[in-house]
Amino acid sequence: MQHLIDGYRIYREKRWPELRALHRRLAERGQSPHTLVIACSDSRVDPATIFNAGPGELFVIRNVANLAPPCEEASIGLHGVSSAIEFAVTKLYVETILVLGHAQCGGVAAALSEEPRDPNSFLDAWIGLLDTAKARIKGCSGDPAQALEHESIRVTLENLKTFPFVVRAMKEHGMELVGARYGVADGSLEVLNLENGAFEPVV
Which residues contribute to the site for Zn ion (CB under 5 A)? 40, 42, 105, 107
Geometric angle at alpha carbon 160, from 141 and 203, rounded to 5°: 55
Q: What is the dihedral of CA 133, 82, 41, 196, to 10 degrees?
A: 40
CB of 69 to Zn ion, least distance (A): 16
Nearer Cβ to Zn ion (33/101): 101
Nearer to Zn ion, 148 or 169 (CB): 148
Tell the burial category of 114 from Cβ atoms under 10 Å away from its Cβ (0-12, 13-18, 19+). Answer: exposed
- The nearer residue to Zn ion, 64 or 160, going by C-beta atoms, is 64
Q: Give the neighbor-by-neighbor strand order of the sheet with 176-182.
A: 58-63, 35-40, 96-102, 176-182, 189-192, 199-201
> Please, which residues have CB within 8 angstroms of residue 105's CB and are 6 or more apart in sequence?
40, 42, 65, 66, 145, 149, 152
The smaller minimum CB distance to Zn ion, of residues 56 and 144, is found at 144
Complex with Zn ion: residue 40 or 84, whichever CB lies closer: 40
* Cβ closest to Zn ion, residue 19 vs residue 123: 123
Which of 197, 196, 202, 198 has the alpha carbon at shortest distance from 182?
202
CA R_g for the chain: 18
157: left (phi over 0), alpha (psi -120 to 50) or beta: alpha
Q: Taking the CB of residue 138, how many other CB atoms lie within 10 A of it?
A: 8
Nearest distance from residue 35's CB to Zn ion, in Å? Answer: 19
Q: How far is the CB of 66 from Zn ion (least distance, A)?
A: 7
